[in-house]
Structure 1
Amino acid sequence: MAALPPPSPYAATALPGPGGALADVGLTVGGRTWHLAGRGGGQAERDRALAAMAAVAAVPGGGLPVFVGAGLGAGIRAVREISAGPIFVCDREAAIDAATGLRAALAGDAGIHFFDDPDPARAAARVADAARAASFAALAVIAHPVYARLDPGWYGGVTAGLRAYAAFRDRVAYPKFASRQAPARVLLLSRPYFLYREIEAALARLGLPWRRVATGSGQTGEEGVVAAILAAVAEFQPDFALTVNHLGLDREGRLTDLFASLGLPLASWFVDSPRLILHDYAALASKRTMVFSYDADALPALQDLGFVHTAWLPLATDPDRFRPLAGAAGPHPWRARASFVGASMVPQAGEALGKLAPYPLLAAHLPGAAAGFAASPEKSARAFLAAHPACAGPFAALPTAEARLDAELALTWEATRRYRLACVRGLLPFSPLIAGDAAWETALPGAGRDWRRLPELHYYDELPGFYPRSDVNLNCTSLQMKGAVNQRVFDVPAAGGFVLTDAREQLAALFEPGREMAVYADPAEIPDMVRHYLAHPGARARLAEAGRARVLAEHTYDRRLLRLVAAMKKAFGCVPKAW
């Protein structure tokens, strides 16, 4: 920035009126005398201030008064008579203030803020920051004409900065979803996570305009992220913002408040347990946020957290990535009659149980409780622990919310470990191929074993080629989602493979069990069902083909994004300006 021209040197003298009260300030500038109050005196200052406030009175929430030059203070006092809100004064004239004594007189009013930064752009930016924090409030700029003559560089710079804020505010004040015909414009809050690739590809295929804003991988809500979002909103003018699992949002709610102040609706699609993610987030239930959950059972709890807009949005697949593979029946190291892809859950359960070491009574009873939870119709780990005869007391006595969450995780992961082990054991008579962590080596029989293990497979690069090479792909769902379905029930059929999955309540709303999906109700059924389908390749093929047809028709990410956009448009269509 170029150096500012020096202000004109002057002397200021208080001029009392009848009765001794301050009536004006005489300014001696270059041998000439100016009058601060001018012909109208203090009344002119009052009139100027009240006119500026009236000009923004129709704006929701009114406007923030900003005085560019304090003058005699008559205008400031007039605004204070009609408004209890903050008042901003950009003024660095020490000589005038010495004559008026205004700052000292107003020092008791904590709502009056003086800005005198040497850099006028910084002074204006501080006012703009306060206006943005107040839901992008309008500014009622009250410029004293004498100050721009005394120091045109500084007061002109302040005024230019305030105008820039007003222009930016106008750019982000556009109505959202204003046209029913125009495609929705999506601002994607991007972080490293597998689902973002699918969302971006689906948006591109659907022809929906979108813009990515990277929110990093550490703490969020900092100025760099805020600035990037503001720039994208002003330039791209999205209809709503989209995140996955609340990724990119800060726990304190700064970004949620920012979207609310912009009048920009926010969609958050949870593809993992909302409870495990939101337990340590506060004040994020904005009325302009819609939460989508892959698990319909999570919706009541989300509503209890204050989210007004919620919807069920299951997982899906990308058929451009998962598709039938030519020659899948031929020789290959991955070729198998039966297979399972997934974690043993041994490390996860061990780590979670280890966190309960300070609570030995609960830790002692929890493994037994986990066996019961796996078989119980109760979906909530918290509710199960609270009602369990041996665990209820120790669980209620835990000192913190974090400790209670650790107990829920320990129950869930240990129950999942036991359940998954029971399911995979049902594959052992068929020389299965198991792709997962090294803990499977100790979890399953070692001596004389007739099964193979692969290291964990990369979702994008390897799984699309793995599923078609197994005659039977076993699926057993994590117990963090007792009623929901996981990714595998969509990916395997899309790849042309056959999947044998466990019964889940929400599965029946997505597929027709027995015609489009082979389903077992208990791990004990797995060996007989695998034996049956290995012996009847025609039945396998019919189920795989019917399942794939249903997936392509209803369960792609394109379909999910269309549903999400339609729900956002219905909830927030023609959203009015926030100011």
Structure 2
Amino acid sequence: MPARPTRVKTQNELGKTRTLPDAASGFYRTGQGQEHLFLGLGPQPEQLPALAGHPRKVWFVESDTFWRNMDQTWHESIPHSWTRIPPEKLTFQRLAASTLWIYTPNERLFPSFWGPIMAKVRLALRQYTPTRPENVVLLPWDANALILPELARAFKKVGLRPVPIPEHLTVDQLTDILSRLTPKLFVSLNLAGLDSHGSLYHLLHEAGTRVVAWMVDNPFHVLGKCKSPFWKDIPMGVTDNWFIRPLEALGGKPFHLPLATDPYFFTPSGHQDGQQTLSGVTFAGRTAFPRKQGFFAGASMDQHLLEIACQDMVKGKRRDLSWWIDQLGVTDFWPGHAIRSAGLGAEETSLAWRRTCLEIAAASAHLTIVGDLAWRQHLTHPFTLHPPVDYYGPLATWHARSPITLNMTSMLLPHGLTQRHFDVWAAGGFLLTDTTPGQAIFPRELCAPISFKTPAELESLIQRFTPESRAKQDLRKAWRNEILAHHTYDHRVQKILDIIDK
């Protein structure tokens, strides 16, 4: 039995070794022009003339990195009559008028090089003609996504027509959209609507559409999916400014873009008159984010560190992601998933902190949790459990009717805030929250009276603010004025527009 041929291997853009498919299976042909143009040569250039039908004249483009990776034998196997040309020679007109032979692994191997080229190819084959961008913003949209309705409303106010598109687009779908429409802007929450190699980003960039990402969760948990550094070219809003320095160190373009609220959904008039006011303390939240176990499947949990973190938290020492990164010695934030072990530690610390604070609330007043059934497994004191409610429906009513809404900020965001920091006040409610560096965007005189570092401080605040008082009314009014004056999605959209206009 003949030995199987040795497959050629090369290192990809991120330094990972990959095996290359041969000439017969690695290429596809498109276009019917007289000029033959190879985009990538693959591992066996000597087989390509026969594959193409022995055309008289052939031009080709190849990645410099792949060119350097290949040995002398490979270089000598390139037909002498073939001419290498730089990517700058690939005009829309030339691509549209050529017969193209495309090596399919290109975009996965060296996406930074081939992504822009393939974007131009895809648009050229659709007879794309560059035009002036229209006042349209594309919003990748999931049926259950938050923030997008608020963004759509805010963009519409400034004259940009929001166009929702599927969250999981194919390159063909996006190419079809861009062949009919040239949007001014594409705004992605947590890189929704963008693929891991950056092909969709390069399509948008080539078409003249500005792309902005808004990381409303831990950016490095999101970036773990990226297999190309395309994200470094995208202005990236982060709700937590702690991430700005490490993102900049990797070459990114982060800017601070905190969460906000929309008074259309959260306003004191949003709850129905005559509804009975709740008693005590209300907390709305889940025990864990969706698909948590799968996300952290490859991460390990240091139980000893978790015990230390929980002991320190009770003493008022916040043990968030930054602490876990230091304790575990994590230095590689991207590429890869090394940071997820620190993320798992921070997530488990968050759960322990929420559990501790909810026990205090349940022991101090009547506690109502609006959340999942798993809370029954975590608390020992009696409380009332209500199933989750629609964010855009009854939640504003719950905030407005509760004497106190309780917030504990996720340890996954060292300087983070939550929607409750904005929505509760906008709805006419009253918030008690743990102290975090993220509160620096608010006046100190408003934060101090309603913030706690320890369970004992929380107990004291519950006793103080459960009954209605003039001080409580004044705080509620001052907070609502602050939120509406500086922290709506209208303000955040203006910041995005300022960033892209720089």
TM-score if structure 2 supplies the norm length?
A: 0.71
State the aligned residue count. Answer: 416
Which residue pairs with 1:25 in the alignment? none
Query: What letter is aligned with 2:257?
Result: L
Instruction: Report if the CA contact (8 A) 1:246-1:269 is conserved.
Output: yes
Aligned counterparts, 1:165-176, within 5 A? 165=124, 168-172=127-131, 174=132
Q: Is the 8 A contact 2:359 2:379 kept in 1?
A: yes
Structure 1 residue 508: deviation in Å?
Answer: 2.7
Instruction: Report SS of the residue matched to 2:245.
Output: helix
CA contact (8 A) 2:410 2:416 kept: no
Task: Give the whole-Å Cα distance in 2 for the aligned partners of 1:370 and 1:245.
Answer: 28
2:137 aligns with one of 172, 186, 194: 186
Alpha-carbon spacing, 1:379–1:280, altered in 2? closer, same or farther (3 Å): same
CA contact (8 A) 1:337 1:471 kept: yes
- How far residue 562 of structure 1 moved from its aligned partner, in angstroms, is 1.0
Q: Which residue of 1 aligns with 2:178?
A: 230
- Retained in 1: the 8 A contact 2:184–2:208? no
Matched position secondary structure for 2:196: coil
2:461 matched to which residue of 1?
A: 529
Q: Do the aligned partners of 1:244 and 1:271 also contact (CA within 8 Å) in 2?
A: yes
CA distance in 2, matches of 1:426, 1:541: 24
Q: Is the 8 A contact 2:309 2:319 kept in 1?
A: no
**Matches of 1:468 and 1:320 in 2, distance apart?**
14
Provide the rounded CA distance (Å) in 1 between the counterparts of 2:164 and 2:297. 39
Determine the C-alpha separation between the residues in 1 that align with 2:270 and 2:195: 46
Task: Report if the CA contact (8 A) 1:337-1:431 is conserved.
Answer: yes
Q: Spell out the pairing of 1:400-415 with structure 2 (5 A cutoff).
A: 401-402=336-337, 404-415=338-349
Counterpart residue type for residue 436 of structure 1: G
Give CA-to-partner distance per residue, 1:273-322, whole Å, 9 cap, x none.
10111123132445652000111111112212321x32101000110011
Asked if the contact 1:352/1:410 (under 8 Å) is kept, the reply is no
Indicate the structure (1 or 2) with the bigger Cα radius of gyration: 1
Distance 1:343 1:166 in 2: 48
Task: Structure 1 unaligned segments of length 5 or more: list them.
Answer: 1-65, 77-88, 114-121, 139-161, 177-182, 571-579
- Equivalences for residues 427-438 of structure 1 within 5 A: 427-428=361-362, 429-438=364-373
String of CA shifts for 1:234-259, please: whole Å, max 9, x gaps: x4432332111111111111122223
In structure 2, distance between residues paired with 1:102 and 1:110: 7
Structure 1 distance, partners of 2:138, 2:275, is 45
> In structure 2, what is the Cα distance between the partners aligned to 1:422 and 1:347?
22
CA RMSD of aligned residues (A): 4.1
Query: Structure 1 pair 228/412, CA: closer, same or farther in 2 (3 Å)?
Result: farther
Partner of 1:367: 306
- Looking at structure 1, the residues matched to 379 and 485 of structure 2 have their Cα atoms a distance apart, in angstroms, of 39
Q: What SS class does the counterpart of residue 202 from structure 1 fall into?
A: helix
CA separation in 2, counterparts of 1:373 and 1:129? 58
Relative to 1, partners in 2 of residues 1:373 and 1:208: Cα closer, same or farther, differing over 3 Å?
farther
Change (3 A) 1:542 1:108: same
Match of 2:88 in 1: none
- Tell me if the contact between 2:240 and 2:258 (Cα under 8 Å) persists in the aligned partners: yes
Structure 1 residues 439 and 198: CA distance shift in structure 2, 3 A: same
Distance 1:347 1:267, change over 3 A: closer
Q: Cα offset for 1:488? A: 0.3
Q: What is aligned with 1:324?
A: 268
**How far apart, in 2, do the equivalents of 1:462 and 1:509 lie?**
28
Match of 1:31 in 2: none
Name segments (4+ residues, structure 1) moved above 6 Å. 128-132, 135-138, 326-329, 346-354
Separation in 1, partners of 2:318, 2:207: 44
Q: CA deviation at 1:348?
A: 7.9
CA drift at 1:200: 0.9
- In structure 2, what residue type is equivalent to 1:384? W
Q: Equivalent residue for 2:42?
A: none
Q: Is residue 243 of structure 1 aligned with residue 188 of structure 2?
A: yes
Report if the CA contact (8 A) 1:294-1:314 is conserved: yes
Partner of 1:20: none
Partner residue, 1:5: none
Q: Distance in 2 between matches of 1:349 and 1:254?
A: 28
Match of 1:293?
A: 238
> Which of 189, 195, 205 lines up with 1:260 in the alignment?
205
Deviations 1:327-380 (A, max 9, x none): 768554x72222111123499887788766xx6xx6443432442674645643
Residue 489 of structure 1 is matched in structure 2 by 421
Gaps of 5+ in 2: 1-30, 38-48, 59-77, 86-94, 104-113
Pairwise CA distance, 1:207: 2.8
Partner of 2:151: 199
SS of 1:317 mapped into structure 2: coil
What is the aligned partner in structure 2 of residue 576 from structure 1? none
Q: CA offset at residue 435 of structure 1?
A: 1.1
TM-score by length of 1: 0.62
Q: Provide the rounded CA distance (Å) in 1 between the counterparts of 2:203 and 2:270.
A: 50
Given the superposition, is the C-alpha separation of residues 563 and 251 from structure 1 closer, same or farther in structure 2, using an over 3 Å criterion? Answer: same
Given residue 393 of structure 2, which amino acid in structure 1 is its aligned partner? D
Q: Tell me, yes or no, if the aligned pair for 1:342 and 1:436 is still in contact at 8 Å.
A: yes
Separation (CA, whole Å) in 2 of partners of 1:352 and 1:184: 37
Q: Distance in 2 between matches of 1:247 and 1:294?
A: 16
Provide the C-alpha distance between the structure 2 equivalents of 1:426 and 1:204, rounded to a whole number of angstroms: 44
What is the CA deviation profile of residues 396-433 of structure 1, one whole-angstrom value per residue up to 9, with x for unaligned ones?
9xxx954x444223211210011111111221221111
Provide the C-alpha distance between the structure 1 equivalents of 2:258 and 2:271, rounded to a whole number of angstroms.
Answer: 31
Q: Indicate yes or no: 2:263 matched with 1:312.
A: no
Give the alignment of 1:130-169 within 5 angstroms: 133-134=116-117, 165=124, 168-169=127-128
Deviation (angstroms), 1:504? 1.7
**Cα distance change, pair 286–477 in 1 and its aligned pair in 2 (3 A):** closer
Give the AA of the match of 1:444: L
What residue number does 1:6 align with? none
Mapping 1:473-512, distance limit 5 Å? 473-512=405-444
Alpha-carbon contact 2:325-2:339 (below 8 Å) kept: no
User: Within 2, Cα distance between the matches of 1:346 and 1:198?
Assistant: 22
Partners of 1:205 and 1:426 lie apart in 2 by 44
Shift of 1:134: 2.6
1:380 aligned partner:
321
Matched, 1:339 2:291: no
2: distance between equivalents of 1:366 and 1:205? 49
- Tell me which residue corresponds to 1:79: none
| Partners of 1:516 and 1:543 within 8 A in 2 | no
Q: Helix, strand or coil: the match of 1:481?
A: coil
Q: Check the 8 A contact 1:266/1:288 in 2, yes or no.
A: no
Identity value in percent: 23
Matches of 1:370 and 1:290 in 2, distance apart? Answer: 34
Please name the residue that 1:458 is paired with: 390
* TM-fit CA distance, 1:525: 0.7
Query: Could you say what secondary structure the match of 1:535 adopts?
Result: coil
Would you say the 8 A contact 1:243–1:267 is kept in 2? yes
Equivalents in 2 of 1:494, 1:300: separation in Å?
31
1:37-89 per-residue CA deviation (whole Å, 9 max, x = no partner) reads: xxxxxxxxxxxxxxxxxxxxxxxxxxxxx99657xx9xx9xxxxxxxxxxxx9
Aligned residue identity for 1:269: W
Alpha carbons of structure 1 residues 445 and 349: separation in structure 2 relative to 1, 3 Å: farther
Q: Do the aligned partners of 1:260 and 1:288 also contact (CA within 8 Å) in 2?
A: no
